[in-house]
Amino acid sequence: MPAPVLTPAEVRAAAARLPRARLAHLPTPLEELPRFAARLGGGVRVFVKRDDCTGLLLGGNKARHNEFLLGDAVADGCDLVVWGAGVQSNNCRQTAAGCAKLGLECRLYLSRGHYRTEPQGNLLLDYLVGAHVEFTDAALGPELTAFLAAKADEFRRAGRRPYYWNPPRVVPLAAVSYALCVAEIAEQLAALGLAPDALYVSSAGATGSGVALGKALLGWTCPARLICPMHWPWHIPTRTADDANAAAERMGLPHRLTVSDVDADEGYVAPGYGLPSPAGREALHLLATTEAVLTDPVYSAKALAALVADVRGGRYRPGSVLVFIHTGGVPAIFAEPEKVLPER
C-alpha cells in the first residue's frame, strides 16, 4: 500500500514528536519576483521563499536546522556544542548564535581551505556571539567529521557532555526542518490558488533531503531541483534518499524515497566548493537589481543560476510556478566583496 498523502498540518504534527528549540522567525515570507521573472522571459512566475529572513544572526537555512539539532542537544542534557565547517560557514555562524541563545558553549573548528582568517563576514559574527574558534587544516568531509568526533571525545573525557557533528544523528534531524519548510510553501501557495511546477534549493545535504521528503509527504510530483554546492566522496542522491528516509522514520512516518526520487545536480559546483561562479554572479546581480533581494555569493547564487539557465533553456511552459528557496548566507558578501562586485 502506498504511503498516504499528508496535509501540511499532518506534517507539522509528525515533526512535533521531536525535541525542538524555537529559534527561527517562522513562517518566512513567500514573495513573487515579477521583475526578475520578466527579465528571464518564458512567461514563468518565480517566487522566493525567504529563508534568508529566519533570524538567528542574519538568517539562513541553518536556523531551521538548529531548532531540531539544538533542541536535541538540550533534551540530551548537553552543555557544549562541537561544530565545524569552512571559515566562512553559514552553518557555524547560526549554530554559534543558537548556542548563545540557549546558553550552550560553542566550540568551532574551522577548516582554512582557501579562505582568509581575518574576522570578516560570518567569521566576525562567530566571534561576536562568543564562539570559541580554532582553525584546522582538516579537509571538509570525512576528515573534518573525524576531527570533530575526536574533539568531542576529548571533552567527554574531561567530564563535559558534548553535542557534535555526528552525521547519522544530526542530518536526519536537520532534514525534518525542511520538510516543514515545504509544508509552509504548500500553505502559502494554496492561499494564492497555486501549485508549484518546480522547487529550487542549494543543497547536497540535510536541506535537500528535507525538501525531497516534504515533496513526497505532500504528494507533489513536480521536480525539486537540489543544486549541489560541492562534490562529496559518496553518491549524493543515495545519501539524500537515505537521510530523507531516516528523517521520515524519526517523524514516525512510513514514507520512503528511492534514488529516482532525488534530483541532485552537481553541474554547478565549478569552479569549486566555496568559490563564486560567473553564472552565480550574474544571477546574484540580476536578482539584486530587479528585486533588491541579495543572495550569498556562492551557494544560493549557484542555485539561482540553475533556475535562470533552466528558464532560459525552455524547460518550463509559460505560466509555470517556480519556487526558489533562499537559504541565506548574505554575510559572506562582506568577507570578500571583490568577488561579488560587478565588473567596472
Catalytic residue ranges: 89
Give the span between the Cα atoms of 3 and 281, in whole angstroms: 41
Q: In what order do the strands lie in the sheet with 132-136?
A: 132-136, 105-111, 80-86, 162-164
Q: Could you tell me if 187 and 8 are in contact, meaning their C-beta atoms sit under 8 angstroms apart? A: yes
What cell numbers appear for 190 in the block? 494554496
What cell numbers appear for 7 in the block? 496535509
What cell numbers appear for 104 in the block? 550552550
Q: Which residue has the cell 566522496?
A: 233
Quote the distance between the C-alpha of residue 38 and its chain's center.
Answer: 27
Quote the distance between the C-alpha of residue 176 and its chain's center.
Answer: 12
Q: Could you tell me if 337 and 66 are in contact, meaning their C-beta atoms sit under 8 angstroms apart? A: no
Q: Could you tell me if 7 and 276 are in contact, meaning their C-beta atoms sit under 8 angstroms apart? A: no
Which residues make Cβ contacts (< 8 Å) with residue 32, sequence separation at least 6? 45, 46, 47
Measured at the CA of 337, the angle between CA 336 and CA 338, to 5 degrees, comes to 90
